């Protein structure tokens, strides 16, 4: 446990020295302020200007979903960038033969950042949400977002060999969160084309107010994580 803690603290120290990574970790707070205090006034202005009863408000729930995934995506992105840097410098090979081991490294680089993102989301989502939502639903959203963050991190580590490639893969892997938008815009059976994405089921659960749709989201997340851990070579 001490080795895992030290490994995690090393990541925090690396993040402190890298302004880009530090900014990524504080970005959810600024995004939350923007969502909560800019979007409703914008909706009011747009509905008055276009003389429409609703423009953005039908998608407030979708914005909440994206916000629930933002902290995990940022935290796990930072973790992936640090892991790629350590792999490029050969540090991971050394760490794997120390008492930390591969499992300890996975815990420090994946599990702890995801848990931290879950806690941050559980605190920020009730503050910045745009739609009323039961506390349990917000916790489930935070959990789904944390799993999505782990998937993004593993996608980066699987398809990247250095930080430059990691930045490019991050943009592509982040597209997986947009599966949540499909149920909001595609109402017929065509929407199920993207059903392999966990985010699709999160969007469906929120749109239809049916929490049991989160079960396939969690199962698919576990399958994605297991598959990617076996495929990637960095960890």
Instruction: Say how many CA atoms lie within 13 Å of 155 toward its Cβ.
Output: 22
pTM equals 0.90
- Taking the C-alpha atoms of residue 48 and residue 195, their distance in angstroms, rounded to an integer, is 37
Interval 201-227: pLDDT, tens: 999 999 998 889 999 999 999 999 999
Q: What is the pLDDT of residue 194?
A: 92
Tokens matching residue 225: 């994580």
Helix, strand, coil % over all residues of the chain, rounded to 5: 85, 0, 15
Ranges of residues in the chain with a pLDDT under 50 are none
CB proximity list for 157: less than 8 A, separation 6 or greater: 80, 83, 84, 166, 228, 232, 234, 235
> Could you identify the residue written with the tokens 């490994």?
7
């Amino acid at each position: 446990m001490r080795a895992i803690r030290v490994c995690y603290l090393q990541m925090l120290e690396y993040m402190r020295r890298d302004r880009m990574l530090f900014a990524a970790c504080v970005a959810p707070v600024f995004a939350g302020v923007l969502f909560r205090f800019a979007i409703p006034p914008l909706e009011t202005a747009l509905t008055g200007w276009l003389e429409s009863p609703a423009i953005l408000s039908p998608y407030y729930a979708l914005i909440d979903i994206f916000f629930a995934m933002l902290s995990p995506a940022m935290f796990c992105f930072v973790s992936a960038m640090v892991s790629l840097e350590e792999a490029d410098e050969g540090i991971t090979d050394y760490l794997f033969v120390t008492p930390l081991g591969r499992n300890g490294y996975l815990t420090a680089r994946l599990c702890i950042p995801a848990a931290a993102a879950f806690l941050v989301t559980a605190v920020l989502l009730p503050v910045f949400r745009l739609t009323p939502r039961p506390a349990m639903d917000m916790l489930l959203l935070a959990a789904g977002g944390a799993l999505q963050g782990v998937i993004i991190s593993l996608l980066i580590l699987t398809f990247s060999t250095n930080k430059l490639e990691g930045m490019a893969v991050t943009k592509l892997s982040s597209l997986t969160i947009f599966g949540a938008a499909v149920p909001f815009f595609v109402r017929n059976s065509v929407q199920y084309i993207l059903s392999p994405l966990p985010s699709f089921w999160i969007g469906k659960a929120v749109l239809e107010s049916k929490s049991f749709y989160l079960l396939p989201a969690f199962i698919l997340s576990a399958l994605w994580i297991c598959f990617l851990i076996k495929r990637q070579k960095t960890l």
